[in-house]
Amino acid sequence: MVTCAIDLGKIDSVCCFSDPATQKHQFETIATERAHVEHLLASRSDIDLIVMEACVPLGLFNDICQERQVKTLVSSTNEEAWN
């Protein structure tokens, strides 16, 4: 299965798909809008986990992932480890 790490942006978001079995990755830029997120998840049924940063667009992405029963992991860049 594939892990998708997303750098969430106000206008666009960058997705990095990583397959641990093959050690290959690929990038895709999508608009930070509900229809684009839904299309991404519909077209990539191999996504097992989505990793995101805690920021404003997180709610949109997380809600859609929960609706589709895709696991999510959220990191906070406000923690001491990121300073």
Question: Which residues are paired to 25 by β-bridges?
Answer: 18
Q: What is the pLDDT of residues 2-44, one digit of tens each?
A: 999 999 888 999 999 999 999 999 999 999 999 999 999 999 9
Domain of 19? 2-75
In a domain, 48, yes or no: yes
Q: Write out the two tokens for 7.
A: 């750098």
In a domain, 83, yes or no: no
In a domain, 6, yes or no: yes
Residue 81 has pLDDT above 70, yes or no: no
Q: Which of 1-5, 73-77, 79-83 has the highest mean pLDDT?
A: 1-5
Return the beta strands (E) in 1-83 as ranges. Answer: 2-7, 12-19, 24-31, 47-53, 71-75
In a domain, 82, yes or no: no
In a domain, 80, yes or no: no
In a domain, 43, yes or no: yes
CATH number for the domain spanning 12: value is: 3.30.420.40
Q: Write out the two tokens for 51.
A: 């990793």
The model carries a pTM of 0.83
Domain count of the fold of the chain: 1
* Model confidence band, residue 82 (pLDDT cutoffs 50, 70, 90): low
